[in-house]
Amino acid sequence: MTNTITLLADHLGSDAPRVMGTEYVVDAIINVTDFNDSQAGLTGTFLDTPNTLAITAGTFDSSKYVVGQNLTIAGSDNEDGTITISAISGATLTLSAVTTDNADDSGLTLSTDQEAITYLSFGLRKVTHVQILGQENQLLNWSVDLGTDGNTSIADHLVLKCITSSTGALLAGNAGTIRVRLMGQI
């Protein structure tokens, strides 16, 4: 989840949201330099009753994650797979499900399968429409990840997924730039 957002200026040179009908419009380029943003070599303790993973060793940065985001775990004795983050408190993640207690599970790799960017990064409070206008790498398929209610899967965030066209696999690493248009309220 490493990206840089560049708001694009209109013909008057303003990159602030502008009115279109009853909504504001923002055009932006998102440069995704590390799509899955993995953290490797971690040691953690899984507890199934509170559904938590407490990182006990290794270099860990919880700011890379957002509540509601999918987390992919690899290298665990019992917990490999993709689950959802329910809460974040320092080096402890509450997860949607943990199958068993497992202390000092070493060699963990944590990564994400979504790029989650706050609407505030675009100068908007609420977004009603997102258009993907183009992308640097034509071999990738970008999509907006929606929940069952038709809104993005994480409240107040633009949630993007990216798969490789040829294999259907989730991308890892540099995804290049993607140009988007968001419409909503400031």
- pLDDT greater than 60 at residue 3: yes
pLDDT > 90 in the chain, percent: 57
State the residue for tokens 């303003």: 14
Give the pLDDT score at 163. 83
Give the pLDDT score at 72. 92
Give the pLDDT score at 10. 82
pLDDT > 70 in the chain, percent: 98
Confidence of residue 13 (pLDDT cuts 50, 70, 90): confident
User: What digits encode the pLDDT tens for the residues 21-60?
Assistant: 889 999 999 999 888 788 999 999 999 989 999 999 999 9
Give the pLDDT score at 140. 87
State the residue for tokens 């407490």: 54
Give the pLDDT score at 1. 55
Confidence of residue 69 (pLDDT cuts 50, 70, 90): very high
- What pTM, to 2 d.p., does this model score? 0.81
- pLDDT greater than 60 at residue 161: yes
| Average pLDDT value for residue range 5-23 | 83
Domain boundaries, the chain: 2-35+115-185, 39-112
Give the pLDDT score at 138. 87
Topology adopted by domain 39-112: Elongation Factor Tu (Ef-tu); domain 3 (2.40.30)
- pLDDT greater than 70 at residue 129: yes
